[in-house]
Amino acid sequence: MAHVRQQIRERLAVELAGLTTTSTRVYQTRLYNIDETLLPCLLIYTQTETSEVQTLSRPYNIYKTLTIIVEGVARAVADIDDTLDTIAAEVETAVGNSTLNNLAKDFYLTSTSIDLSADAQQPTGTVRLTFNATYVTTSNAPETAL
């Protein structure tokens, strides 16, 4: 079985597959080589995680807060801001009440940033949605959400 962090990332990809703008172009990595034929798409990856012990004896219950990023990437065209806002709205709507199949105790949006880049062959725009997922495991079973 996979670490709960991986299960959360995979479940989020399932919940975001099939949105109107990005369709099934959902990738669980930030290192994906984004070919212009794959745009618009979503990239899902984890960034940081903090942990707190909740119990006094072993095995400990560990309360974890995971920062997970959903990045929407689209071709930079005249209406790129509208496209990025649409992607953000679709993502927020799809997971607005989600607990990621009960893997998370809570899952919520903490910030959004928008950027344009001319680094790729085709200029791109990116909307980066940062979410926190809180979950609990025991110290000796990081593959099982409590």
Please give the model's pTM, rounded to 2 decimal places: 0.93
As a whole number of angstroms, the distance between CA 129 and CA 120 comes to 21
| pLDDT at 38 > cutoff 80 | yes
Residue 22, judged by CB atoms within 10 A of its CB (0-12, 13-18, 19+), counts as buried
Domains in the chain, CATH or no CATH each: 4-138 (3.30.70.1700)
Residue 39 pLDDT: 93
Secondary-structure breakdown of the chain: helix, strand, coil percentages, each rounded to the nearest 5: 20, 40, 35
Q: Which helix (H) or strand (E) holds 124?
A: strand 124-138
Cα angle, residue 60 at apex, residues 56 and 63 outer, rounded to 5°: 105
What is the separation, in whole angstroms, between the first and last Cα of the chain? Answer: 15
Write down the residue that tokens 């979503």 correspond to: 42
Structure tokens at 72: 């929407």
Rounded average pLDDT over 27-43: 85
Cα angle, residue 52 at apex, residues 71 and 94 outer, rounded to 5°: 30
Question: pLDDT tens for residues 75-116?
Answer: 988 899 999 999 999 999 999 999 999 999 999 999 999 999
Residue 42 pLDDT: 97
As a whole number of angstroms, the distance between CA 57 and CA 139 comes to 10
Residue 77 pLDDT: 85
R_g over Cα of the chain: 17
